């Protein structure tokens, strides 16, 4: 997408959020930041530029979590900047490059001439869940489109829904109680079962010089790990809502 398209969608979302001038500027600056400075990912022995049309989910989710944590810490300026950067990739991901990229520039020119469909923005602000799973799933469901009207509709809807999910700081009722209950089971039941079964299986395998006890212990641990999944999922949701881990 061209800057004009990103900015147009950003302004519509900023209007829905009723952003004051400072936060509005931070958000609109963030929504074109990846084009301005060509974001890169660096690590031991590698460095690559982030693809805009096929961004890695972890790169986008990094901006999502940075935005969410900034909002939880009352740093709205940084929160809206990272929100804008995350939405940039969602919007670019909606745009198909076409065969060998031959139709890409023409498609972006047509897209820049379209008005933002306010009904798609409004629908996004109604159909969302404030959770990291919802945001991750929204990114997954954002598929490259060839028709410019479909591109704009999808980019607006997904951007609005993700913006609403990240900025909604209301905490679900009963979350802390449910987390305490699952954490208790995690610490007192699941962790001891996994550690105990692996220790016994390893000891018996050494004593009998037979792999069966260790294989059995691994299978038991995998079953316990699967049964402990609700805790891991809820723990992530708790972090999303600012509940500290104990």
pLDDT digit string, tens, across residues 28-76: 999 999 888 777 666 666 655 666 667 787 889 999 999 999 999 999 9
| Beta carbons within 10 angstroms of residue 130's beta carbon | 19
Tokens 């969302």 correspond to: 128
Q: What is the pLDDT of residues 112-146, one digit of tens each?
A: 889 999 999 999 999 999 999 999 999 999 998 88
Q: Considering the domain boundaries, does residue 74 fall inside one?
A: yes
What are 166's two structure tokens?
């990240």
Find the domain containing 186 and state its range: 175-240
**Residue (of 128, 139, 135) closest to 237 by Cα position:** 135
Q: What is the three-class DSSP state of 76? A: helix
Q: Using the predicted structure, report yes or no on whether residue 102 has a pLDDT greater than 70.
A: no
Q: What is the pLDDT of residue 50?
A: 67
Q: What is the three-class DSSP state of 145? A: strand
Final residue in a domain of this structure, among 131, 147, 167: 167
Q: Measure the CA–CA gap between 2 and 91, rounded to whole angstroms.
A: 10
| Beta carbons within 10 angstroms of residue 156's beta carbon | 25
pLDDT band at 183 (very low <50, low <70, confident <90, very high): confident
Q: What is the pLDDT of residue 239?
A: 87
Residues 50, 56 contacting (CB under 8 angstroms): yes
Examine the domain organization and report whether 70 and 192 are in the same domain: no
Final residue in a domain of this structure, among 167, 196, 225: 167
Q: What is the pLDDT of residues 164-176, one digit of tens each?
A: 999 999 988 887 7
pLDDT band at 99 (very low <50, low <70, confident <90, very high): low
Residues 162, 67 contacting (CB under 8 angstroms): no
Examine the domain organization and report whether 107 and 220 are in the same domain: no
Examine the domain organization and report whether 67 and 186 are in the same domain: no
Q: What is the three-class DSSP state of 177? A: helix
Q: Measure the CA–CA gap between 165 and 124, rounded to whole angstroms.
A: 10
Examine the domain organization and report whether 68 and 15 are in the same domain: yes
Examine the domain organization and report whether 163 and 236 are in the same domain: no
Q: How many domains does the chain have?
A: 2
Residues 67, 165 contacting (CB under 8 angstroms): no
Q: Measure the CA–CA gap between 43 and 58, rounded to whole angstroms.
A: 14
Q: What is the pLDDT of residue 231?
A: 79
Final residue in a domain of this structure, among 113, 146, 167: 167
């Amino acid at each position: 997408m061209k800057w004009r398209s990103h900015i147009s969608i950003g302004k519509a979302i900023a209007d829905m959020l009723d952003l004051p001038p400072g936060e509005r500027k931070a958000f609109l600056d963030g929504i074109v930041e990846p084009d301005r400075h060509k974001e890169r990912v660096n690590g031991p022995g590698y460095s690559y530029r982030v693809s805009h049309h096929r961004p890695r989910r972890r790169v986008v989710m990094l901006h999502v979590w940075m935005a969410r944590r900034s909002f939880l810490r009352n740093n709205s300026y940084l929160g809206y900047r990272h929100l804008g950067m995350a939405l940039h990739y969602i919007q670019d991901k909606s745009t198909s490059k076409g065969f060998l990229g031959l139709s890409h520039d023409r498609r972006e020119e047509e897209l820049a001439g379209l008005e933002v469909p306010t009904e798609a923005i409004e629908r996004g602000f109604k159909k969302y869940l404030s959770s990291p799973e919802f945001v991750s799933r929204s990114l997954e469901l954002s598929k490259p489109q060839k028709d410019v009207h479909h591109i704009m509709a999808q980019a607006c809807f997904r951007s609005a829904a993700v913006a609403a999910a990240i900025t909604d700081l209301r905490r679900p009722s009963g979350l802390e109680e449910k987390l305490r209950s699952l954490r208790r089971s995690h610490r007192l039941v699941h962790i001891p079962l996994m550690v105990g079964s692996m220790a016994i299986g390893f000891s018996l395998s050494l004593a009998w010089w037979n792999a069966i006890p260790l294989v059995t212990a691994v299978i038991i641990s995998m079953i316990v790990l699967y049964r402990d999944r609700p805790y891991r999922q809820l723990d992530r949701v708790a972090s999303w809502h600012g509940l500290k881990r104990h």
